[in-house]
Structure 1
Amino acid sequence: MNWTTAAPAVLENEHVLLQPITEEHRASLHALALDPNIWDYFVSRVDTDEDYTAFFDASLADQEAGRRVVFHITDQHTGRAAGSMSFGNMAEADRRLEIGWSWLGRDFRGQGVNRWAKFLMLQHAFETLQAERVEFKTDILNERARRALRNIGAVEEGTLRSFNYMPGGRRRDAIFYSVLRAEWPSVKEHLLAVPDAAHAATGA
C-alpha cells in the first residue's frame, strides 16, 4: 500500500466529515479563514481576500504535489464547513507522519471538532497506513493547542529552539508531541470514552 494514494481518503463519523480539499471547497472556507485570531500562532497569516486566495492555492498545490493531504472539515451536527487539518511530512519508509496545519472557525472551537478530526486522522494513520509514529508540533506560546494535544493523549517530547520565523519576524520555539503505535489503543479508548464536554473544557 502506497501512502501517496492511501492517505487522501474520506474520513467520517457521526461528528465530523473530512474530505481531501478540492477547488469546490474554496468558497466554504473563505469566510471562516478571515478571522484574524486563527492565525496568531500560524506560520502565515490570512488577513485579506488576496491572502486567502494565496493560502488556498498553496494548499491545493501541496496536495497535488503529494507534500500534504489537506482535509476540509465539515461539522456533521450543523452541516457547515468547520476548518482544515493536514497530514504532512510523510516519511513512509520510516512509517512516520505529522498531523498539523490545523485551524477551525470561531464557532467550532471547543465543540469537539478538533478532537474528532484528530481521532479520525490518528485512526487512519495507525489502522490503515500502519504508521509507527504520528507527530505534532506547535508554537511553545500556544497554550490552547498544547492543552488540546495533551487532552487527546499526545506525549510532550521537547522543544526545538529558534525553529522558524513567524510573521513579524519573531523566531518560534517549536514544541513537539507524538503518539506511537503501541500507545494508540489506549489513546483511542480514551478519546472514545471521554465525554465531549470534558474535551471542550480543555480546548479540544
Structure 2
Amino acid sequence: MALFLPETLPTLQTVTGRFVLAPFTPLDVEPLARLLARDEIWSQGFSDSEARPAGEAELAAFVDRRFAGLQVFSVYRQLPQGQSRFVGTTGITDHDDLSERVKIGRTVIDPDLWGAKVNHEVKITLLDWLFSCGAGRVECDVDARNQRSLSSLVRFGFTAEGTRRRSSRNIDGLWRDFVILSLLTEEWPDVRPRALAALAGPSRADLLAV
C-alpha cells in the first residue's frame, strides 16, 4: 500500500472519546506558548539547540518558527457541555512516500496530565491513522537524556534502533545524542492490542477532570 498523506489533516477522536486531534491553527499558538512556558517541558531537553524563549512574544515566535509548514495536530480534552480544552500537540515532521516512511514529533503534552496516559492514547490514534494512510515505517528521534519519553516509547512497542551520536549542537556549544526509534506496519497488529490493554490500566485519571 503506497503512502498517501492528505495536505489537510483530518479531525480524529481517540478510542475512549476523551480527546480530539484537530489540525493546528493560528488560534492554537497562544495556548501552546503557555504550555511551553512550563519549566518541566524544558527540563526534558526540549529544543536545547536554541535559547529558551522568554516572554509571550518570544514564545509565540518560537512556535511559529518550529511548527511552520509541518502537519501538526492540536490535542483537545473533551469537557462537559460540548466544551474542550487545549492540552498539547503531536504531528508529522517528515515523510517520504516512496519508502513509506513517516517521522513523528512536535509532541507537547500539558505537564499537569503527565502520568494520565494522554500521550499513550493520542499515539494510538495517530498511528491508526498513519498506518491506514499507507505508512510502512513510523519513526521518531528522542534526545538521549529524555528517559521519560524513551521508556514510554519502548513500553508502547517502538524499537530503539540505535543512537545517532553528536547529532546537533546545543545553544551552550555541547553536542546532543539522539536515540532513533521505529514501529513498522507489520508490527502494529500485535502492538495495538497491547497498547489498548495498557491504556485500560491504572492511571492518574482523576487529573482529567480538571
TM-score above 0.5, yes or no: yes
Q: Aligned pair 1:50/2:57, yes or no?
A: yes
**Larger helix proportion of the pair:** 1
Q: Aligned pair 1:15/2:18, yes or no?
A: yes
* AA of the residue aligned to 1:22: T
Shift of 1:53: 1.3
TM-score (norm 2): 0.83
Question: Which of 47, 72, 77 is the matching residue for 2:74?
Answer: 72
Contact in 2 for aligned 1:85/1:101 (Cα 8 Å): yes
* AA of the residue aligned to 1:20: P
Other-structure match for 2:208: none
Matches for 1:29-108 after TM superposition, within 5 Å = 29-40=32-43, 41-43=45-47, 44=50, 45-59=52-66, 61-62=68-69, 68-76=70-78, 79-108=84-113
Question: How many Å separate the matches in 1 of 2:199 and 2:108?
Answer: 22
* AA of the residue aligned to 1:3: L
Contact in 2 for aligned 1:163/1:172 (Cα 8 Å): yes
Contact in 1 for aligned 2:90/2:108 (Cα 8 Å): yes
Q: Point out the more displaced range, 22-31 or 9-18.
A: 22-31
Q: Point out the more displaced range, 130-139 or 20-29.
A: 20-29
Q: Point out the more displaced range, 53-62 or 140-149.
A: 53-62
Per-residue CA shift, 1:130-165, capped at 9, x if unaligned? 110000110111110111101211111100100112
TM-score (norm 1): 0.85
Q: Aligned pair 1:162/2:169, yes or no?
A: no
Q: How large is the RMSD of aligned CA atoms in angstroms?
A: 2.0
Relative to structure 1, the CA distance from residue 153 to residue 72 in structure 2 (aligned partners, 3 Å threshold; closer, same or farther) is same
Question: How many Å separate the matches in 2 of 1:138 and 1:199?
Answer: 24
Contact in 1 for aligned 2:120/2:199 (Cα 8 Å): no
Unaligned runs of 5+ in 1: 63-67
Unaligned runs of 5+ in 2: 205-210
Contact in 1 for aligned 2:166/2:176 (Cα 8 Å): yes
Percent identical across equivalent pairs? 27
Runs of 4+ in 1 over 3 A off after TM superposition: 44-47, 195-200
